[in-house]
Amino acid sequence: MNGAGPAARLALPLALALLAACGGPADGDGAGKLSPALRIPDIVDDLRASSCPAGSRHQPLPTIPLSITPFVLENIAAAEDLPGARFVGGWHLESREPAFGGLSGLAWDGAQKRLLAVTDRGAFVALELEDGQPAGARLAPMRFADAAAAGKAGRDAEGLALYRGIALVSFEHRHEVLAFAVADCGAAARGVPVAAFTAAIVGLTRPLNANHGAEGLAVGNDGSVLLALETQDDGLPLARLLANGGAQVVGRIAPRGRPVLTGLDGAGTQLYAVLRDYLPGIGNTIEAIALPAGDGVPDTGTPRRVLRLTPQHGTDNIEGIALVRREDGGLRLWLVSDDNFSSRQRTLLYAFDLAAMTGNAGAQPSP
């Protein structure tokens, strides 16, 4: 430590990010050489102190009404559609609370034994569970420190990862990641900057569009922060945050069809990603895959398909993914759909148990 306060230390990555946006990154060519990664363990205490300063009081997320209707997937051919998973249950979630909807990022809150989600209007939603099923919900708007978050674009939260009680949230229009100390302050946690990587990511052939940024987010087993970019760029790019405040592509998934990445989570040495292929008039085809990522850098050349859902199965716009370690040591995979606050779409929550495999890949080889 150099004696600087938390705010001063957190300002450094942002200052470097602005320099990178103007003059390019200091090192790393985006083709093979990787620049030093930002490691969340190195700054987590500063993030906590800035988001929930000493003397702050914890504010629980308020309870909201929730209607829960069970449903089952239809026309499933297990060997083809669920090669690495078993369907456990599905639920259609509705609420009279107008801020409920648009669930885009999902994470497992192990301390509270519940699922935490973010909405694309800038709110946290906690889904309470009983006997492995949704039983209630809580919701609170995120607290932002700047005026840029006043409009819809500024509050468009998409990716979510939890690390030691800190909610890391990616915003695709703003192209940045904020941290909220939700375990310490709950609804009173303030968003503090982790990185503002702008639209110019090292290794991309073009800048990110405003609505095709960091759709998914995960913390690797090495403490680095991985981003699933919702764009096609000679494949489906995965990036990671850099120590200088920017971001760099670390791999591309070869697409089948016209999918984009919409969700990301990690479990042990595996990274799990959600791919969505939407065709107007037909609907959404969803695929979940597992990628080895033992050193924090995903091996995109050997994806394993966990599941593939098509419109005939009754799926929707899946964007959130969370992995939970079961009591028997296996993994449960949760998926949630973003209804875009539209009456023509639904908020659907799915639960799957993953098949056990050597290396905990949780899936069969992808065709």
User: What are the DSSP calls for 286-320, one per residue?
Assistant: EEEEEEE-TTSS--TTS-EEEEEE-GGGT---EEE
Query: What is the torsion angle, in degrees rounded to the nearest 10, for the CA atoms of residue 309, residue 311, residue 316 and residue 322?
Result: 0
Residue type, 275: L
**Model's pTM, two decimal places?**
0.88
Mean pLDDT of 5-30: 36
CA distance 264 to 84: 17
Q: What is the DSSP string of 183-201?
A: HHHBTTPBPEEEEE--S--
Share above pLDDT 90 across residues of the chain, in percent, rounded to a whole number? 72
Cα–Cα dist 267/170, whole Å: 19
- The confidence band for 181, taking pLDDT boundaries of 50, 70 and 90, is very high
Q: Is the pLDDT of residue 62 over 50?
A: yes
Phi (first) and psi of residue 51, to 5 degrees: -80, -30
Mean pLDDT computed over 28-35: 62
For range 108-134, the mean pLDDT:
96
Distance CA 108, CA 129 (A): 11
Q: In the chain, where are the structural domains located?
A: 6-25+33-365
- What is the CATH topology of the domain spanning 6-25+33-365? Tachylectin-2; Chain A (2.115.10)
What angle (nearest 5°) sits at the alpha carbon of residue 104, between those of residues 285 and 117?
Answer: 130
The helix/strand/coil state of 118 is strand
- The one-letter amino acid code at 242 reads L
pLDDT at 143: 95
**How much is the pLDDT for 357?**
52
Rg of the chain on CA atoms, in Å: 19
Give residue 362's pLDDT.
Answer: 34
60 pLDDT band (50/70/90 cuts)? very high
- 120-134, 153-167, 289-303: which range is least confident on average? 289-303
- What is the average per-residue pLDDT within 275-283? 90
Digit-coded pLDDT (tens) for 166-178: 999 999 888 999 9
Of all residues in the chain, the percent with pLDDT exceeding 70 is: 87
CA 224, CA 161: separation in Å to the nearest integer?
Answer: 12
Instruction: Give the pLDDT mean for 103-109.
Output: 97
Residue 25 has pLDDT above 70, yes or no: no
Sheet of 85-94: strands edge to edge?
A: 67-71, 85-94, 347-354, 331-337, 318-325
- What value does the mean pLDDT of the chain take? 87
**How many Å separate Cα 206 from the centre of its chain?**
23
SS3 363: coil
Token pair listed for 33: 């050489």
Lookup: tokens for 85: 């998973």
Residue 317: count other Cβ atoms within 10 Å of its Cβ. Answer: 23
